Amino acid sequence: MNIPFSHYEESADYLRQRIGGFQPKVAMVLGSGLGELGDRVEEPTVVPYGEIPHFKTSTAPGHKGQLVFGHLAGQPVVVMQGRMHHYEGYSYEETTYAIRVFRLLGADTLMVTNAAGGVNQDFKAGELMLITDQIKPFLDSPLRGENLPQFGPRFPDASYLYTPRLQDLARETAHSQGISLREGIYLYFPGPQYETPAEVRMARAWGADAVGMSTVAEVIVAAHCGMEVLGVSLITNMAAGILPQPLSEQEVLAAAAAAKETFSALILGCLNKL
């Protein structure tokens, strides 16, 4: 428990050597099956997680486990191809480690995407959802333990975790590109088992529109260190119990693959207008 500030600095120092004078503005954490956007980065510098001091590796399917630095839609970015999840055995502090390193490298914006199960019955599989707020029930905060004031305050505000200005940007981008964009609240379950139908009813009663196994801790850490955040979910399936059929990982990955182009267009459009 409690990673010292010196580790973050050592990771950042190593990466600075790898990327020369390049300074990313936008950090991108891309979810299941959506990591391909990283392959479109221009003049990329690719750094596998295993080469970076103190970095953990990602074991989830569809997650490559490397950083890609370069330009995307005119912005200097670092793309995380593969994220760390709590269900892989990592603490929340470990799953969010890279975000703080990106901040030390100069990134001031986090774009985060994920695959999620639809809880709002108006949604359909294959739709995109702008995340307007989140619920992280009962479990440890990634900020638990000694606060590192170099990053932010002990008790950070969480009223605007998802930056209103960036939400507007996403709405405008979707509208101008003719992309249908739902909006809603993302509720975190730790997984790796999908939710039970009873848990999904609870999620709905609590006001959630989608459920998923990532994102919330990363967003808390990014906001804590002063980054602006844009979050978009791809509704890969309706959550358990909504349709009379079981869920499968194949279904989730297939839906992610099918929506790749629309999803990429939205994210690239937002990047371009930042």
Q: 212 or 269: whose CB is closer to ligand HPA?
A: 212
Asked if 212 touches ligand HPA (CB under 6 A), the answer is yes
CB 167 within 8 A of CB 230: yes
Q: How far is the CB of 208 from ligand HPA (least distance, A)?
A: 11
Q: 130 or 213: whose CB is closer to ligand HPA?
A: 213
Residue span binding ligand HPA (CB under 6 A) among the ranges 68-76, 101-109, 234-242, 266-274: 234-242
Taking residues 35 to 74 in sequence order and writing x for each that binds ligand HPA by CB under 6 A, - otherwise, the string is: ----------------------------------------
| Interatomic CA distance for residues 263 and 274, integer angstroms | 17
Q: Which residues of 178-214 are buried (b: 16+ CB within 10 A; e: fewer)?
A: ebebbebbbbbbebeebbeeebbbbbbeeebbbbbbb
Q: 93 or 195: whose CB is closer to ligand HPA?
A: 195
Q: How far is the CB of 265 from ligand HPA (least distance, A)?
A: 21
Q: 69 or 194: whose CB is closer to ligand HPA?
A: 194
> Scanning residues 100 to 129, which ones bind ligand HPA (CB under 6 A)?
115-117
Residues 6+ apart with CB under 8 A from 32: 60, 61, 62, 63, 114, 115, 236, 252, 253, 256
Minimal CB distance residue for ligand HPA: 117
Q: How far is the CB of 115 from ligand HPA (least distance, A)?
A: 4
CA–CA distances in Å: residue 152 to residues 97, 176, 200:
14, 36, 34
Residue span binding ligand HPA (CB under 6 A) among the ranges 79-87, 151-159, 167-175, 188-196: 188-196
Distance of CA 228 to the CA centre of its chain: 13
User: Using CB under 6 A, which of 93, 127, 133, 195 touches ligand HPA?
Assistant: 195
The per-residue DSSP string of 59-114 comes to -STT---EEEEEEETTEEEEEEES---GGGT--HHHHTHHHHHHHHTT--EEEEEE
CB 91 within 8 A of CB 141: no
User: Using CB under 6 A, which of 60, 237, 267, 271 touches ligand HPA?
Assistant: 237
Binding-site ranges for ligand HPA (CB under 6 A):
115-117, 189, 194-195, 211-213, 236-237, 239, 247, 252
